[in-house]
């Protein structure tokens, strides 16, 4: 999975899956733009990358703000000269409520952070990749981009939207050398699951035939493959990495 000399951008890279993706990009030879709203943890990831000899920078961007997404892409190109690979990963759990009780503010927030953000990043990444004539983009969806689950209407809607956006943009730009895919993790043991009680987390294990939650590194391996030329005929696809969750 040679990403030697390529530039990779990861949003939400200060923690969990994004951090694992950023570190693995670095291991595979990419120059990495680490972006997050959490500057302290983000800079920590940059230090970890640099300690392994990888080139890395941090840029603070809130993906819910289109201007900051635009700036992030511009800063990446200014720092490294190209943008070859992007993983649009930042996300939150959002409100946990039944649909009739879901607050309007909560709805707008989750759609903005988990769905609008992917459109904003994609739009500006495509601008650069179209000029280059190549690129690979991975959008972080979820198993909840394929099925619903109670109390997560906003999250489920956003993650389904990410899949539809991926399928549409992939068709639009396939002939111009840009591949766009979505990844659907099952429940992964990251700080994101802090929204759930220990009891709920234990119950989530039972939903995965493999009998445990996934790790961020297991998701990162799939992202790296999709990013690389090994996946040269793969575009517009949704790939679960879910311990069998969707097979039930």
Ligand X SMILES: NC(=O)c1ccc[n+]([C@@H]2O[C@H](COP(=O)([O-])OP(=O)(O)OC[C@H]3O[C@@H](n4cnc5c(N)ncnc54)[C@H](O)[C@@H]3O)[C@@H](O)[C@H]2O)c1
Task: List active site positions.
Answer: 155
DSSP 197: -
Residue 185, strand partner residues: 241
Query: Any residues with CB less than 8 A from the CB of 101 and at least 6 apart, and which?
Result: none
CB 154 within 8 A of CB 107: yes
Q: Does residue 69 touch ligand X according to CB under 6 A?
A: no
Residue 44 CB burial class (10 angstroms; 0-12, 13-18, ≥19): middle
Which x/- pattern, by CB under 6 A, does the window 120-159 give for ligand X? --------------------x-x-----------------
Instruction: Tell me whether residue 100 or residue 247 sits nearer to ligand X (CB atom).
Output: 247
Q: Does residue 222 touch ligand X according to CB under 6 A?
A: no
Residue 4 Cβ, how far from ligand X at the closest point, in Å? 26
Three-state DSSP at 230 gives: helix
Three-state DSSP at 11 gives: strand
DSSP letters spanning 117-128 = HHHHHHHHHHHH
Q: Does residue 38 touch ligand X according to CB under 6 A?
A: yes
- 8, 24, 64, 153: which one binds ligand X (CB under 6 A): 64
Instruction: Tell me whether residue 18 or residue 135 sits nearer to ligand X (CB atom).
Output: 18
Instruction: Tell me whether residue 31 or residue 208 sits nearer to ligand X (CB atom).
Output: 208
Q: Of 11-19, 103-111, 163-171, 220-228, which part binds ligand X (CB under 6 A)? A: 11-19
Sheet holding 56-60, edge to edge: 56-60, 31-36, 7-11, 85-88, 135-140, 178-185, 238-241
Q: Of 31-39, 70-78, 127-135, 221-229, which part binds ligand X (CB under 6 A)? A: 31-39
Instruction: Tell me whether residue 89 or residue 235 sits nearer to ligand X (CB atom).
Output: 89
CB 2 within 8 A of CB 25: no
The two tokens of residue 134 are: 């190549």
- 3, 6, 7, 15: which one binds ligand X (CB under 6 A): 15
Which x/- pattern, by CB under 6 A, does the window 177-196 give for ligand X? --------x-xx-xxxx---
Rounded to an integer, what distance in angstroms lies between the CA atom of residue 191 and that of residue 181? 24
Q: Which residues bind ligand X (CB under 6 A)?
A: 11-12, 14-18, 36-38, 62-64, 89-92, 113, 140, 142, 185, 187-188, 190-193
């Amino acid at each position: 999975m040679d990403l030697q000399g390529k530039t990779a951008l990861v949003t939400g890279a200060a923690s969990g899956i994004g951090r694992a993706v950023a570190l693995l990009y670095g291991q595979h030879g990419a120059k990495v733009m680490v972006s997050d709203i959490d500057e302290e943890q983000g800079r920590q990831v940059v230090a970890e990358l640099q300690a392994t000899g990888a080139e890395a920078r941090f840029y603070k961007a809130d993906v819910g703000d289109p201007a900051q997404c635009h700036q992030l892409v511009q800063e990446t190109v200014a720092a490294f000269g190209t943008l070859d690979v992007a993983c649009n990963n930042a996300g939150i759990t959002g409100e946990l409520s039944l649909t009739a009780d879901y607050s309007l503010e909560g709805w707008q927030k989750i759609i903005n952070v988990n769905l609008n953000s992917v459109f904003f990043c994609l739009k500006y990444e495509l601008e650069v990749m179209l000029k280059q004539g190549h690129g690979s983009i991975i959008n972080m969806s979820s198993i909840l981009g394929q099925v619903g689950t109670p109390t997560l209407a906003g999250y489920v809607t956003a993650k389904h939207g990410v899949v539809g956006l991926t399928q549409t943009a992939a068709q639009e730009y396939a002939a111009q050398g840009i591949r766009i895919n979505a990844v659907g993790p099952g429940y992964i043991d990251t700080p994101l699951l802090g929204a759930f009680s220990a009891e709920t987390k234990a119950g989530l294990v039972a939903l995965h035939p493999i009998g445990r939650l996934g790790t961020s590194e297991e998701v990162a391996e799939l992202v790296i493959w999709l990013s690389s030329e090994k996946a040269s005929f793969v575009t517009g696809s949704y790939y679960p990495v879910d311990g069998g969750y969707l097979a039930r």
